Structure 1
Amino acid sequence: MGNSLMIYLNKRLKEEDSYMKNPATTAGPVITISREVGCNGLKLANLINDRLNKEKMCSVWKVLSKEVFSQSAKELNLKPERVRKIFKETNKYTFDEILKAFSDKQFKSEKKIVKTVSDVVRSFAIDGHCIIVGRAGHLIANDIKNALHLRLVAPLEYRINVIMENNKLNREEAAHFIQRVEKERIVFRKAILQGQNIEDTFDLLINRASFSDEEIVDIIEYTVKEKGLLKMNQPKMEFY
């Protein structure tokens, strides 16, 4: 029994050391969802989350989107709205000029805010058992092995109809909304990348208009299991 315990403890120490040196190989599991505006990505994420939690795993899956800005704002001592505003400047990258309007106590450089948001997303991805909707999750977690990166697309007309229904807008307003938000997302990705050459790479690209919600969840659940995401990070036995 004594030898077995020592073997186990030595193995755990090696695992923890390996994790600290290269967390990307032991991080996760994580699912990232990139989507065109009007694909109801958050709604689908919640449905996937519910399905995965029915697997009765020890770790509970969670959906993360606005939580990224909330946690980043908490670490920066800023309001979430102010952090979010940094990534909505579609005309130019004068983020520091916006921040200078804040009090000296609250002032944070654009670089600091961008890094904090990126670090928060990566921290969530490394912790695992989460579905990150947007926030350039597929770029920030692109090196994590235990991950599934999903891209949702749909014809423009489909997306316009979704936005009209979700936001109670007319067709012209919905089309303008899609154009504006897509520009904001491009700015966000550019800010996160900070000149890095990381390509958009996805494991699955799904046409939202071709399948029902339930069919897409079935596809994701099958892919998650086939990829081994539910096996790689099983809780380890602890000794007390």
Structure 2
Amino acid sequence: MSNALLEYLNNRLGKKDVSDTGNNIPGPLITISREVGCSGVKLAHKMAASLNQKRLGPNWKVLSKEVFFHSAKELDMEPEKVRRFFKYSDNYTFNDILNAFGNKKFKSERKVIKTVNEVIHTFAEEGFCIIVGRAAHIIARDIKNALHVRLIAPCEYRIKTIMHNNHLNREEAIEFINRVEKERKAFRKAIRKEAPENEIFDICLNRASFQDEETIYLIEQAAEKKNIFKDYGRHIDFY
């Protein structure tokens, strides 16, 4: 990764060295992959607050859309154009991308994908973060001190959640879910084309079965059992 991006991340996070956790061990990291309508970002912010109360190292942060902002900074592109790039991954052509971005700031497929990979992996290595989506469980699969979570829910639960959160009717909510799931699949395919079909997670939770507090408790328990915190300071009692 270029010095420009590292400097930007250092300044953004207020740290001397974005990749230094104090003992040079990557992590700790939690990634959350989720079906549309599982409120993953909302849950991640609550979890970060819970982890911060336990005062283990630096404050935990949540990353999702922020990945595109940091990638755009490095690529000298607008964040939305980075997002739009991945929507073309199933059927894009050279002309499609040129029309989407404009000729003056066209970046190659390889450059965009490489930069997004590097941004996500840099945050994963720095640790003390919860990355929601963005294929982080694939990109950061080499990080030992990481917990990879998958959130699922019955279709009806997810439809009702989207209707409530986005103020949509039932038909609009279904259309929203189908569109966003398609975009996420395209992103995963573009970001790591060699990724295995069967993705591996440490824990899979049904959001319809547990309230937010219960879900956070189960994830924290799993993280503790996997010992992802053991190299970063004192033992944290989650019980």
TM-score for both structures, normalised by structure 2 = 0.83
Match of 1:53 in 2: 52
Match of 1:98 in 2: 96
Greater shift after overlay, 106-115 or 36-45?
106-115
Alpha carbons 2:145, 2:229 under 8 Å: kept:
no
Distance in 2 (alpha carbons) for counterparts of 1:90 and 1:126: 27
Alpha carbons 2:63, 2:130 under 8 Å: kept:
yes
Deviation at 1:194, TM superposition (A): 2.5
Matched, 1:177 2:176: yes
Distance in 2 (alpha carbons) for counterparts of 1:199 and 1:27: 25
The residue correspondences of 1:84-233 to structure 2 (distance < 5 A) are: 84-89=83-88, 92-94=91-93, 96-101=94-99, 102-197=101-196, 199-233=198-232
Distance 1:89 1:150, change over 3 A: same
Deviation at 1:100, TM superposition (A): 2.0
Normalized per residue, the structure richer in helix is 1
Deviation at 1:106, TM superposition (A): 1.4
Deviations 1:119-151 (A, max 9, x none): 111111011110000000001011211000000
TM-score for both structures, normalised by structure 1 = 0.83
Distance in 1 (alpha carbons) for counterparts of 2:97 and 2:87: 13
Deviation at 1:89, TM superposition (A): 2.6
Match of 1:38 in 2: 37
Alpha carbons 2:70, 2:119 under 8 Å: kept:
yes
Deviation at 1:221, TM superposition (A): 1.6
SS of 1:209's equivalent in the other structure is: coil
AA aligned to 2:43 is: L
AA aligned to 2:157 is: Y
Q: How many residues align?
A: 212
Alpha carbons 2:148, 2:203 under 8 Å: kept:
yes
AA aligned to 2:58 is: S
Larger Rg: 1
Match of 1:5 in 2: none
Greater shift after overlay, 194-203 or 51-60?
194-203
Deviation at 1:234, TM superposition (A): 3.3
Alpha carbons 1:87, 1:188 under 8 Å: kept:
yes
Distance 1:152 1:27, change over 3 A: same
AA aligned to 2:80 is: E
Distance in 1 (alpha carbons) for counterparts of 2:49 and 2:75: 32
